[in-house]
Structures are given as structure tokens and as C-alpha cells.
Structure 1
Amino acid sequence: MELQVLRWFREVADGATVTETAERARITQPALSRALARLEVEVGTPLLTRSGRTLIPTPAGRLFREHVDQALDQYDLGLRAVTELVDPAHGLVPLAFLHTLGTWLVPPLVSSFREAHPQVRFELHQHGEASILQELVDGAADLIITSPTFAHPRVTWRRLLVEPLLLTVPPRHRLARRKRIRLAEVADEPFILLRSGYALRVLTERLCAEAGFSPKITFEGEEVETLRALVAAGLGVALLPPPRATSSPTPTTSRSTADTSDAEAAGTDPAPQLHVTDVNSTRELGLAWLTDRELPPASAAFRDHVLSSAQAVSSGRRRARRESRPPG
């Protein structure tokens, strides 16, 4: 049984056609079909069955695919481990994280790590919580930075920091000049939420329930910055983390660059954010890895770096935001 044939089988079982897989593998379609047939003979039962123009896994094929995933993941991890043992300075860190963290938390963590490990490469993926967890379990990522919204027996999660969730309102809203608010005060307002399946959606609904109401949902989206733009356009309110920027803001107005850049690009005024006082409007962010999988040296070193550095990155960002505001 050849590892390459197992990779071809996995591609086809995942929905790729034999023609597509053969083209990527640079072999003929009949050669690929014969290789898959030999695999079925070796396993002792049909693994794929035709459905229209594609092949789909049989019940035995679905079960076999799970073990193929594990075998290929372990093989690939073994290759990486040997490569990094021979040359530990040239490792690879596959990292997945919430898309909201790509503008402020992840860049300084990667940058400061590479100051001491300049040859280490990173493979970065941005997703929602469900996709991030799947990448970790499937072996596509060694580490993930996410909220603790899952209970998985194979996953170890460590808290890095706590991020506030602020009530974001349109710039001409009746509450726009307020600094603080009780969430119960907006029980009758239209809410803009992430789609079902996102942790921030679940958390928003829970906080609203604690405040004594269910949010009236008018729009649903898949990215926090989309929600922020919809609020700025006057379409509703939302509980969102503070806006972040990749560069230090310049204190030229009463609002920082981080607050205004996205809204100005969209042609709207920035959406004010109010601190919520009647419920604990925060979310935890942490680092997770598989408990039963030994991390390769580069990923293990980056894990230790993140655990020791994330709080300082967050504190520095908050301090920069405070200093960007003009006095008075």
C-alpha cells in the first residue's frame, strides 16, 4: 500500500473527481483508477461507489478514510519532526486563529518569535471557531488561538487574555454620546449578529439572556468588521470587540486611527462603542493544541512563546490606544 495512493483516495473521498485528482498528480486517469482498484483489493472491500460524475465513499470507505487521515497525519508529522531534529532552526509552525485576531494579536506574536528564530516558517489560517477546531483535529494546524467554545477530549486549551465586548451603536444613535450602558437598555433595538455556529453569536445571545431579553436579529454576517460596518451604516447595534489596527494610531482626532480607518473607507462615520455594566461583557481568548500529539520543536517553542507573551501584547495595545487619545 503506497502512501501516495492513500492521498489520492483521500482526495477522491473528499469530493474531487478522478480526472481532477489525476491532473494534480500528473498521471493518466486510467492509471489513477487502477491504483484505487488495487487499494480496494488490498483492503478487501469496495471503498468508493459512483454517484453521477463523481465517486463517493461507501460505508467502509468512510471508516477507512478516518484511519487514512490519522496515518497520513502521523507520517507527515514524523517527516517534520525528523527534519526539525536534523535542522531545528528551519521548522514550520501551522497556526490557525480567529479572523479578528489577524490585525493585532497574531502579527506581534509571530514577529517577536522570529526575532529569536528567523528561519522558522509559518503557515497561517484564519477561520471561525468550528473550522479552527477541525483544522487542529485533522492535523492541518499544530496550534489554534480561539475562544473556549468547545469541549473536546483531545484538546488542551490555555487562556491567554480576556477581551471586552462593547456595545457598538450607529454614530447618530440616541446613545452615541454615552460612555457606559446597561445591556437591558437596548432590549428593543435591532441587533446585528454573526451567523449561527460562531462563538461570538452564542456569547451575545447568552449575555442578552442574562440581561433579560432575546435580541431582535435584523442582519447576520460572517466577519466582525462586516458587522461593524453595518452598525456604522445605522442598521442596528452589536456586541463587538474593540477595533484593532496593525499600525500605531496617530492622535490627530478624538478617535484613534483604529476606530476610524475601516468606517472612513466604507464612507460612513465610525460606530461609537459603549462599556456594558450590567453583565460581564467579555470573551476569553486562548491557545489550544492536541493533548495526545507531541508538537514538533518549532511549534512547541512557539507555544511557549505565546503563553508567555500574549498578555504583554494585549497590555501594550491597550496602552497605545489610551495614549492615542488627546487630553481632555
Structure 2
Amino acid sequence: MRLDLADLQLFLCVVDAGSITQGAVRANLALASASERLRSIEAAVGVALLERRPRGVITTEAGDALAHHARLILRQQALLRGELRDFATGALGTLRLYANTSALTQFLPHRLAPWLAARPRLHVELKERTSAEIVRTIAAGLAEAGVVSDAIEADGLILQAIAKDHLALIVPATYRLAERTSIRFAEASDEPFVGLSPGSALQDHVDAHARDIGKTLNVRIRMKTFEGVCEMVAAGVGLAIVPQAIARRQQRRHGYRTLALADDWARRQLCLCYRDWEQLSAPMRSLLEHLGGVPCALK
């Protein structure tokens, strides 16, 4: 028995109308075509489905069973079509977005929240990586897009700036250079530091720049949150490097001092990173547009 969705739709049109003539009209078919298809359906199932009467048709017991299952099948088909449409428009599914520590903690939460709230059936999986790791992952075709620092080389990929992300050095109020307004990383690299937990993209970024100048930071303790880092610095445990926006937000509460980092690598911008706008999925394009991205051809 081979019945397609058009067969089921025609059969239900006839059943609901109580007439082959009116059922054909509802199915947008000529009467002769509808009658022939109904005969083919009955031949395929090997049993009479309709009882023809002078004033129309009624279903047989087998016809009742077919009508019941046809309604279930067509209802499921409509649900499937709707879900696939939701996937295509970004209302359903799971998006994987890679981001560095700063983007995850200070930029994405308030920007992502309204977009995601408007799509209750969509899931977003955020993955924290260093900017260098994100670029490599996208270049290898293992991810669609990410949020990275503009300090990274991204040959063959597109970077679109969406927010400032300067880094600052926070120091205890009693620190010998606390009255300065700016400092180079090398001037403070021999001091005790408070770091972020292992795996933090920002901490990996700072450690890499310490190695670039031949140093290994003396990290006395590692904290999971920026607030914990700020509390440790305020208590005099050590110095720390955090995003400037976070440093300013926490300074009044904790009473440490904030010094701008004069190094080029610390004057960053957050950027969307992707390979080709046209190759992004519709949900990802929608998300990136919301975050401030615009379609852009590879330069």
C-alpha cells in the first residue's frame, strides 16, 4: 500500500464535504481526476473506503480508520513543517557561539538576553575560548562564528568590531604605583598577581603576553569570577588584569586603583569573527545582526 500526502488530503476533503464533487473542489482537482485517484486509493488498500449514495458519500468502517490516521499524519506533517521553518528562521534549534572571557562576562549577557528571550524554543551553547583558539576553530570549519579580540590575526576571516574591550591593571590602594593613571605590563610583571581559574581565555591571553616578554606571572591565587579577583586585589593579595569596564564597575565597592594598560595588546575591541556571511545559517546571521554585525564580503 502506497499512499502519499496528496492522497490523504484528497480523501479527507471528500470525507469532510460528504461529496466527491465538493471534495474535488476543496482539493483543487477536476472531478474526473479526483474520482480516478479515489479509485486508485481503494485499489491500493484493497478495500472499499467510501459508500457512494445518491446524495453523496459516507465512509465505510475502513474509511473511518483511514480518515482517523490521515488526520494524524497530516497534523504531524504540519508540525514538522512548522518546526523546520522555525529552524530556518532561527526560532528553534541550538546555536554554538564561541567567545573570549571578556565577551562572555560583560558584553554577551545583556546583548544576548532579549534576542534569546524572543525565541523560547531556541538554545544557545556558549563556549569560552581564547581569541586565537576561536580563529583557528572557525578557519578549520569547525565553528560558524565567534566573538574575539581585534588583537588577533585572522587571515582569511572577517572581523567586525562591535564594542570596546580595553584591559586595565587593578592594584591595591597601597601599591607603590597606585597614583599613576597608566602603566606598561612589563613594569608590573614581577609583582604577585591574582589570576582567573585555569581555562579562562583572558588569563591564557595575559599569560601568553607574559611569556612574550620572558616572564612567568607569580599567581598567588586563581578565582572563578571577576568579582572574586577584585576582592582579592582590594585586600592586598596581588595585582590583576581585568576588562576596564569591569574594573570601573567594581572599583567604588572595593576601593582598589585602576591603571590603564599602555600596551597595544590591551587596547582591544571585541569583534565578530566569521568566514562568509552567506554561508552562515539563518539563525546565526540573525544573532550576529543583533549583536551589531552587518553582511560583509571578504576583503
Provide the TM-score with structure 1 as the length reference: 0.47
Aligned to 2:175: 173
Following superposition of structure 1 onto structure 2, how do residues 221-300 of structure 1 map, counting pairs within 5 Å? 221=222, 223=224, 225=226, 226-244=228-246, 258-259=249-250, 269-277=254-262, 281-289=266-274, 291=276, 294-300=279-285
Following superposition of structure 1 onto structure 2, how do residues 90-169 of structure 1 map, counting pairs within 5 Å? 90-92=91-93, 93-113=95-115, 118=119, 121-129=122-130, 142-147=144-149, 156-169=158-171
Does the CA contact (< 8 Å) of 2:138 and 2:275 recur in 1? Answer: yes
Q: Which runs of 5+ in 2 are unaligned?
A: 1-79, 295-299
Change (3 A) 1:270 1:286: same
Q: How many residues align?
A: 212
Change (3 A) 1:137 1:281: closer
Q: Which runs of 5+ in 1 are unaligned?
A: 1-78, 245-254, 310-328
Does the CA contact (< 8 Å) of 1:147 and 1:199 recur in 2? Answer: no
Following superposition of structure 1 onto structure 2, how do residues 9-20 of structure 1 map, counting pairs within 5 Å? none
Partner SS for 2:244:
coil
Q: Root-mean-square deviation (CA), in Å?
A: 4.6
Aligned to 2:188: 186
Aligned to 2:32: none
Partner SS for 2:172:
coil
Change (3 A) 1:184 1:296: closer
Q: CA deviation at 1:168?
A: 1.0
Change (3 A) 1:141 1:82: farther
Partner SS for 2:271:
strand
- Aligned equivalents of 1:235 and 1:203: distance in 2? 21
- Which one of 261, 286, 296 corresponds to residue 301 of structure 1? 286
Q: CA deviation at 1:169?
A: 0.6
Change (3 A) 1:144 1:183: closer
Letter paired with 1:128:
R
Q: CA deviation at 1:298?
A: 1.8
Letter paired with 2:250:
D
Give per-residue Cα distances to partners, 1:75-132, cap 9 Å, x unaligned. xxxx9998137863623443333343344311332245468x5556241324232776
Does the CA contact (< 8 Å) of 1:89 and 1:119 recur in 2? Answer: no
- Aligned equivalents of 1:280 and 1:272: distance in 2? 21
- Aligned equivalents of 1:222 and 1:126: distance in 2? 19
Q: CA deviation at 1:241?
A: 0.9
Larger Rg: 2
Does the CA contact (< 8 Å) of 1:181 and 1:276 recur in 2? Answer: yes
Aligned to 2:41: none
Change (3 A) 1:308 1:112: farther
Aligned to 2:54: none
Change (3 A) 1:142 1:259: same
Aligned to 1:50: none
Does the CA contact (< 8 Å) of 1:146 and 1:285 recur in 2? Answer: yes
Aligned to 1:56: none
Provide the TM-score with structure 2 as the length reference: 0.51
Partner SS for 2:97:
strand
Letter paired with 1:274:
L
Q: CA deviation at 1:166?
A: 0.9
Q: CA deviation at 1:138?
A: 9.4
Change (3 A) 1:293 1:217: farther
- Aligned equivalents of 2:136 and 2:125: distance in 1? 15
Identity of aligned residues (%): 21
